[in-house]
Amino acid sequence: MRNLGVYLEINGSFCHVGNIVGNSSADACFQYSKAYLESSDSHPISIALPLSGEIFSPERTKNFFEGLLPEGFSRRAVADWIKADENDYLSILAMLGRECIGAIKIVENGNKEEEDGYELLSMDKVKELAAEGASRSTQILMETHLSLAGASGKVGLYYDEPSGDWYLPKGNAPSTHIVKQSHVRFSKMVLNEQICMLAAKELGIDVPESFVINTGIGEDSEILYATKRYDRDFTGKGKIGKLEIPSRLHQEDFAQALGIPASEKYEKTNSGYLRRMFELIRRNCTDPIAAQNKLWRLICFNYLIGNTDCHIKNYSLLYGENLKQISLAPAYDIVATGVYGMTNEMSFFIGDELDIRRMNRNTFANASGEIGMTKNQTLKIFDEVAAGFESALSKATETLIAEGFQGVTGLKERILETGGYGNV
């Protein structure tokens, strides 16, 4: 029988919240511990796993915990490495769960914990990470026991801003940044993400700080996308050696919070994902009106840039330090995927439409019923984002060119051609 302890960092210290117990991934069940349930400041780790003494079914357990794991190539590589089946989420979680998205830590009974610390990475090592595709990043995930959701090659690193040095976290030491590699098949992915983040910021969308790490002359194989973790609190929480460490804040994505498996993150037939997302935030966010406006603004922006990969794991809820407050997390993974001509299908239905080519301002007006906002408010936000869109994109382009990333030239035009903006 396997037994994985689940811990959550609350106010800077790890607290045991429960265990996942079972013979295999097929029958493993999560249950909150009695002590956690009885403690005065316990809060659920997911909206889909409310506090109770119940033994959650294998499906509900898997929906939440598998949602913490990498997907696609990175996941297959980790599974191969530990000689597990890629569907055996429990084994992968036992291997990687030392640091996850948010504030969760998973430790299998009997596994020794390593000492906390940071290992300085030379710029050559950072360059290797940019150049080597997913294999080097997978090795780092294994070394750091770090689990980051999503399909692209990425690692969690510590960035010391004053010195500009990068470190590999060890033991329970937290990472401060998520660092993503370029994509071998899709060119200029790093610049694409950064241009979209800068444009979003220009339009008043809440985004974390991000920048491009250039280990050469800005070619795809030399650059990485770095984003400062919004699920880390940087207000002086102590030190490891000379390095200030942040504390962890909890987060969960909409697939986890709605109890939808990661494998169903794209809505194929209309099952009301959009309506369910808005109902969820209205019921659970501390400031529901702010959260719903923020979510809608972001959805409009993703349409305008032509981001067909804006599935329900690319929107998240962020918990406050004591887990009492819930807000919509800042925007992440906003990439104009339309420039690669991947698919014309958006990731969920909007106003009964999935195909981006058939969407326009009316589609967004028609969604007002589903999202529970008045038509006026729905369109006010859409029109605001659309009105400032081209100029925001131009400013973002200029910023990147000024930073020396000439590779961005042409991207703006492609985004304007291929995104929803062309139809508005």
Ligand X SMILES: Nc1ncnc2c1ncn2[C@@H]1O[C@H](COP(=O)(O)OP(=O)(O)OP(=O)(O)O)[C@@H](O)[C@H]1O
Where does this chain bind Mg ion (CB under 5 A)?
Answer: 150, 314, 333
Nearer to ligand X, 179 or 354 (CB): 179
Cross-strand partners of 108: 4
The percent of the chain in helix, strand and coil, each rounded to the nearest 5, is 40, 20, 40
Q: CA-CA distance, 199 to 88, in Å (whole number)?
A: 39
Binder among 181, 192, 194, 316 for ligand X (CB under 6 A): 316
Rounded to 10 degrees, the C-alpha dihedral 194/416/207/7 comes to: -80
Binder among 75, 229, 294, 412 for ligand X (CB under 6 A): 229
> Collapsing DSSP states into helix, strand and coil, what is residue 121?
strand
Q: CA-CA distance, 78 to 86, in Å (whole number)?
A: 8
Residue 38 CB partners (closer than 8 Å, separation 6+)? none
Decide if residue 149 touches ligand X (CB under 6 A). yes
Site for ligand X in 182-211 (CB under 6 A): 208
Of 31-39, 126-134, 271-279, 313-321, the segment contacting ligand X by CB under 6 A is: 313-321
Nearer to ligand X, 74 or 397 (CB): 74
Smallest distance, ligand X to C-beta of residue 233, A: 12
> What stretch of H or E contains 346?
strand 345-350
Give the N- to C-terminal CA distance of the chain in Å, as an integer: 57
- Residue 276, CA atoms < 13 Å, CB-side half-sphere: 18
Q: Which residue lies nearest ligand X, judged by its C-beta?
A: 150
Of 4-12, 163-171, 215-223, 224-232, the segment contacting ligand X by CB under 6 A is: 224-232
Contact assessment for residue 394 and residue 412, using Cβ atoms and an 8 Å cutoff: yes
Q: CA-CA distance, 332 to 321, in Å (whole number)?
A: 21
Which does residue 202 bind out of ligand X, Mg ion, none, counting CB within 5 to 8 angstroms by kind?
none
Nearer to ligand X, 253 or 370 (CB): 253
Site for ligand X in 250-279 (CB under 6 A): 253
Smallest distance, Mg ion to C-beta of residue 56, A: 25
Binder among 71, 220, 267, 353 for ligand X (CB under 6 A): 71
Decide if residue 319 touches ligand X (CB under 6 A). no
Nearer to ligand X, 160 or 390 (CB): 160
Binder among 230, 348, 349, 364 for ligand X (CB under 6 A): 230
Which does residue 230 bind out of ligand X, Mg ion, none, counting CB within 5 to 8 angstroms by kind?
ligand X
Q: Which sign does the torsion angle of CA 300, 306, 307, 310 carry?
A: positive
Of 6-14, 42-50, 146-154, 407-415, the segment contacting ligand X by CB under 6 A is: 146-154
Measure the CA angle with vertex 150, ends 303 and 76; round to 5°: 140
Contact assessment for residue 378 and residue 296, using Cβ atoms and an 8 Å cutoff: yes
Binder among 66, 202, 231, 353 for ligand X (CB under 6 A): 231
Binders of ligand X: how many residues, by CB under 6 A?
Answer: 22
Q: CA-CA distance, 140 to 180, in Å (whole number)?
A: 12
Q: CA-CA distance, 44 to 32, in Å (whole number)?
A: 9
Measure the CA angle with vertex 12, ends 10 and 14; round to 5°: 60
Nearer to ligand X, 10 or 318 (CB): 318
Q: CA-CA distance, 258 to 424, in Å (whole number)?
A: 31
Based on DSSP, count helices (H) and strands (E) in the chain, helices before strands: 14, 19
Binder among 233, 267, 333, 370 for ligand X (CB under 6 A): 333
Nearer to ligand X, 232 or 276 (CB): 232
Tokens 């976290």: give the residue: 169
Sheet hosting strand 251-253, strand order edge to edge: 251-253, 316-319, 326-328
Q: CA-CA distance, 174 to 51, in Å (whole number)?
A: 27
Smallest distance, ligand X to C-beta of residue 396, A: 17
Nearer to ligand X, 247 or 314 (CB): 314
Of 20-28, 50-58, 122-130, 306-314, the segment contacting ligand X by CB under 6 A is: 306-314
Nearer to Mg ion, 333 or 386 (CB): 333
Which does residue 71 bind out of Mg ion, ligand X, none, counting CB within 5 to 8 angstroms by kind?
ligand X
Binder among 20, 101, 140, 200 for ligand X (CB under 6 A): 101
Which does residue 282 bind out of Mg ion, ligand X, none, counting CB within 5 to 8 angstroms by kind?
none
Nearer to ligand X, 202 or 333 (CB): 333
**Residue ranges binding ligand X (CB under 6 A):** 71, 101, 148-152, 154, 178, 208, 227-231, 253, 309, 313-314, 316, 332-333
